[in-house]
Amino acid sequence: MRELVGRVSALDTEAGAAVRVIAYFDRLVQAHAGLEAIVRGAAMLAGCPACLSDPDRHLRIRVRADGEREDARTAPDPGWPAHHVGSGAAALRLERPGRAGPVDAIVLERAAAAARDVLDRTWGRAPARPGEDPALVELLLDAAAPPQARLIAARRLNLAGDVRVRAVAEEGGRARIERDPVIITDRPGEKRQGVGPAVPVPELPESWRLARVALRLAAEGSAQDPGPRVVFADELGGLMVLAAAARPDGEAVPDVLALERAGSAAPWTLATLHAVAYAQSLRAAATELTIHHSTLQERMAHAEHLLGWDVRTPQGRLRLQLAFALRRLARHPEPGRPADRRGRRVNPPSGG
Amino acid sequence: MSIDESPARPAAPVPFDPELGAALTLIQQHMPPLTSLDEIPALRANSALMPVPTAEQLSRDGAFDVEEREVPGPAGAPDVTLLICRPTGATTPLAAIYNIHGGGMIGGNRLVGLDSLLDVAQELRLVLVSVEYRLAPEHPHPAPVEDCYAGLVWTAEHAAELGIDPARILVAGGSAGGGLAAAVALLARDREGPALVGQMLMCPMLDDRNDTPSSLQMAGLGIWDHAANEIGWTALLGDRRGGPDVSPYAAPARATDLSGLPPAFIDVGSAETFRDEDVAYATRIWQAGGQAELHVWPGGFHGFEGIVPHAAISQDAGVPRMRWLRRILAP
């Protein structure tokens, strides 16, 4: 079968392989296959071990690529392709480094959907999920709430005991609580999210505070606001200090104004500068932007002229990174503070 | 309770095991059903059906010495090729599996299915001999079975040279190879040929009449259905297929005497053409005073274990076979 499946992917177009993957899991679901068969299907089709784990239900099913069940506990690597199973903490992971290819992504998605159906049918609904009751979540995030009330809320959200959790601030003001480790994928079209550090439940208000700071540094992921949509507070380091210092009602920073000026000069400028600021090398930046290396050189010369500083030196890159961070902090004021309350939003200057 | 045996209205099919059924959706397009003799060349060319190991895979990183021998065929017929895989460094004679490949009497070669048999041979330290026999319809009965028998006789006669313990040779085969292995066991008994320690018949193809409830019930489903089976038998027997004068050495289900045979291991899926003829063969061996171990795997289609080795039921099916081999081949 592995040979056959190998040939399926070798002979088939991507779309053909996808159709067969979908048919495979549909057939399993129709035949009321169990969870192990579903996880085995994922392992076999992806050609690597697959693991379904659900901390809420104390469930773990791991199957090797050859179909043998082997539940040996290995800590999930955050780099493995993963997919949520239902709305709870359950996840299906492919134990292989790197991003999921298009066919693997379909394997994960279909296997996760099939597993969710079986879990709901046979294991019953998981206990209430953090985030399903906004009032309880609000109570847990509120440092001023009475400790007893917060304890009861934690129990009702199945967060009693020795768990570590993260507060997540979503664009638009919604809050939710995630168990650690958490999988949050940065997808086009998704809301911006700031993720607070992992803490014991009583310290959630602090995780929530930092999550909201992280949210200010999350980008829209667009040409006008390039960068990651999901930002983890515990990866920000000194930028947290910068965020605290950059008051929304402070004066506009000249480097941010220079970025705005460059951004309005040509549609590609900001994405190009962002790639240059964060890529491992200029070559990697060109690859990320899918432009030729020489095109990148030309664009950079132009952008540097608009900015007024050399972005190829370490100092210039740091200055550029800080300009992007300050620009995001200005674009995304703290939740609850209207952006233009005091006319502080930095507007792109007209002309160029 | 009544059992409807009317061929005109076969019972509902046995559902496939969930994992096997899902796997069928992946492989069916690579295994078009066989519907006429004209399609035999295409079937032979379709290697997806029967993956074969490479020369390096055969030697298992030096675990086996691999050689091929041309040995005398049946009287007046060409030589027969035997592939011989012998564990390296053996100092005492070893038990041997004499393997007859599958392929519906019309396809396959001596390498087909050898990978899993090499696993067994490596674990149990066995010599593995695999015979290349002539195929129907170019070579109808008795060419295939006589080639297989000639190779067995040569192997037994040259046991010392091959490092084989002549008292511990068993015949084995899957599908058509299972039918041929059963027929070779009948021939060895009737011609007072090599003594066999066992016959391992994996979903064997035994009955040219092709009219059991399972054959009718599973028509059009799974692998090697009623129509394909009719083509295979017709290739082997021509117009005689299903008629009154078919030799038991062509179709062992036709044998009237199943006494005096070596212990049999028979396994088959419940959702395939051969289920009923294989169960009947085991039953008739018991009724004749012989030994047989029978396993029927629920929802298994023909050859499920080799085609879908990762499935839970395939993993399970390998276990009792291994245990039977350990018991039967213990020195």
pLDDT digit string, tens, across residues B70-79:
999 999 999 9
Q: Decide if pLDDT at A1 tops 60.
A: no
CB contact under 8 A, B22 and A66: no
Q: Which residue of A has its CA nearest to B314?
A: A67
pLDDT: is A220 or B187 the higher one?
B187
Our CA-based measurement puts residue B305 at a distance from the nearest CA of chain A, in whole angstroms, of: 10
Q: Give the model's pLDDT for residue B103.
A: 92
Q: Give the model's pLDDT for residue A348.
A: 37
| % of chain A exceeding 90 in pLDDT | 31
CB contact under 8 A, B311 and A40: yes
pLDDT: is A299 or A183 the higher one?
A299
Residue B130 falls inside a structural domain: yes
To the question of pTM greater than 0.90 for the whole model, the response is: no
> What are the backbone angles phi and psi of residue A296, rounded to the nearest 5°?
-60, -45
Q: Give the model's pLDDT for residue A5.
A: 53
First to last CA, chain A: 62
CB contact under 8 A, A67 and B27: no
Distance CA A44, CA A52 (A): 14
Residue B212 falls inside a structural domain: yes
Distance CA B328, CA B197 (A): 7
| % of chain B exceeding 90 in pLDDT | 82
Of A293-297, B171-175, B296-300, the poorest mean pLDDT is in A293-297
Q: Decide if pLDDT at A287 tops 70.
A: yes
CB contact under 8 A, B22 and A68: no
∠ CA A5-A6-A12, nearest 5°, is 85
Residue B191 falls inside a structural domain: yes
Q: Which residue of A has its CA nearest to B307?
A: A1
Of A24-38, B28-42, B103-117, B150-164, the poorest mean pLDDT is in B28-42
Distance CA A61, CA A69 (A): 8
* C-beta separation of B120 from B322 below 8 A: yes
The β-bridge relationship of strands A175-179 and A164-170 is antiparallel
Q: Which amino acid is at B23?
A: A
Can you say how many angstroms the Cα of residue B132 is from the centroid of all Cα atoms in its chain?
13
- Sort out which chain B residues have CB atoms less than 8 A from A36's CB and list them: 312
Of A19-33, B2-16, B298-312, the poorest mean pLDDT is in B2-16
Distance CA A21, CA A19 (A): 6
Residue B93 falls inside a structural domain: yes
A344 pLDDT band, cuts 50/70/90, is very low
Q: Which domains does chain A have, with CATH numbers?
A: 2-123 (3.30.450), 134-236 (no CATH), 246-331 (1.10.10.2840)
Q: Which amino acid is at A241?
A: V
Residue B25 falls inside a structural domain: no
* C-beta separation of A97 from A187 below 8 A: no
Residue B286 falls inside a structural domain: yes
CB contact under 8 A, A67 and B314: yes
Query: How many beta-carbon pairs below 8 A join chains A and B?
Result: 74
> What are the backbone angles phi and psi of residue A242, rounded to the nearest 5°?
-60, -45
Q: Give the model's pLDDT for residue B140.
A: 97
Q: Where residue B150 sits, what CATH number does that domain have?
A: 3.40.50.1820
Q: Tell me which range, A153-157, A218-222, B46-50, is most confidently predicted by mean pLDDT.
A: A218-222
B312 touches chain A (CB under 8 A): yes
SS3 (DSSP) at B89: coil
CB contact under 8 A, A7 and B48: yes
Smallest Cβ–Cβ distance between A33 and the set B18, B51, B308 belongs to B18
Output the average pLDDT for chain A.
Answer: 82
Q: Give the model's pLDDT for residue B243.
A: 95
Half-sphere exposure of residue A284: CA atoms within 13 angstroms, side-chain side: 8
Q: Give the model's pLDDT for residue B36.
A: 86
Our CA-based measurement puts residue A54 at a distance from the nearest CA of chain B, in whole angstroms, of: 22
Per the structure, the count of domains in chain B is: 1
User: Taking an 8 Å Cβ-Cβ cutoff, which residues of chain A contact chain B?
Assistant: 1-5, 7-8, 20, 23-25, 27-28, 31-34, 36-37, 40-41, 43-44, 66-68
| Residue B211 belongs to domain spanning | 35-329
- Sort out which chain B residues have CB atoms less than 8 A from A43's CB and list them: 310
Of A137-141, A346-350, B44-48, the poorest mean pLDDT is in A346-350
Q: Decide if pLDDT at B210 tops 60.
A: yes
